[in-house]
Structure 1
Amino acid sequence: MPTLPWTVSTPPPEGADVHVFASRFETRTRWGALRFFLGTPAVRRQVATAPGAYGASLRAAPLRRTFWTVSAWESPEALRAFARSGPHGPAARRLAATMKDKRYASWRTPADGLPVAWDEVLRRLG
């Protein structure tokens, strides 16, 4: 299962609590999985420069048509601004109809807990 490494956008302030957001997407078809995968580089570039972003990673099981993401943010508001803008906003709207299943989880964690372990992400996504 390929995993794109944790990419640090801006390091969080020492001692800060950060907002973590995780997702799991399963597409209906392999075509949907390919479209998801092809959109990944642009969204990763967006995360790298997004205000309030502290880092992100993606895990993919393309033959199972399943993708997991985890990211850390200064606040839920910073995450919402990112999600609605740049390449992410239009990509999410285009892919919505191709999704078979999607799950989300969010929580707070100390900055020194980054990057979040994938075991923790998978546990929280159930």
Structure 2
Amino acid sequence: MTLDTPTEPEVQCMASRLEIKSLFAAPGFLLASLPLWWQARRSPGVLGVALKAEMLKGTFWTYSAWTDEAAIYAYARTDPHKSTVVRKRKVMREATFVFFTAPVDELPLSWDDIRRRIAEQRASAQSGH
């Protein structure tokens, strides 16, 4: 993740784990995600964005840092993101999203940290908390 220079000591982050139903859908899912990555990189308020594809596991990870939560939701409501999400739901098995703030001096976070945060979110959701 390349990080633009933020002006606040903390930034809003979003991480996701997206699992598809079939490995046959992996190439199409990756191809559909690339325009969203480019869109995010050009969106107002973005500081940095990363995508990690584990094609043979059918798992895709995203991580982004933003000036504020409103910028994240503005991106999510805008095409091509909005229409791609609707189109790709049919190939999804599971999706986990985590929103959190992080100190600027700790960015970018490692993929290990992103995985830990998502695992905690999934465990919390499964236990009903």
Same fold (TM over 0.5): yes
Look up the match of 1:74. 67
CA deviations on 1:31-68 (whole Å, 9 max, x unpaired) are 32222200122112111210011101111111111111
> 2:6 touches 2:104 (CA, 8 Å); kept in 1?
yes
Look up the match of 1:3. none
Counterpart mapping for 1:3-42 below 5 A: 6-8=1-3, 10-13=4-7, 15-42=8-35
Percentage of matched positions with identical amino acids: 34
**For residues 120 and 61 of structure 1, do their structure 2 counterparts lie closer, same or farther at Cα, with a shift above 3 Å needed?**
same
TM norm structure 2: 0.85
Counterpart mapping for 1:86-97 below 5 A: 86-97=79-90
Question: How many corresponding residue pairs?
Answer: 119
Shift of 1:116: 1.3
> Which one of 56, 59, 66 corresponds to residue 49 of structure 2?
56
For structure 1, the residue ranges without an aligned partner over 5 or more in a row are: 1-5
> 1:30 touches 1:63 (CA, 8 Å); kept in 2?
yes
CA deviations on 1:89-125 (whole Å, 9 max, x unpaired) are 1111111121111111111011122111111100011
| RMSD (Å), alpha carbons | 1.3
Look up the match of 2:107. 114
Distance in 2, matches of 1:31 and 1:11, equals: 39
Distance in 2, matches of 1:80 and 1:107, equals: 14
Q: Rg larger in 1 or in 2?
A: 2
> 1:24 touches 1:66 (CA, 8 Å); kept in 2?
yes
TM norm structure 1: 0.87
**For residues 91 and 46 of structure 1, do their structure 2 counterparts lie closer, same or farther at Cα, with a shift above 3 Å needed?**
same
> Which one of 104, 108, 111 corresponds to residue 97 of structure 2?
104
> 2:6 touches 2:47 (CA, 8 Å); kept in 1?
yes
Q: Which has the higher helix share?
A: 2
Moved over 4 A (4+): none
Distance in 2, matches of 1:7 and 1:39, equals: 22
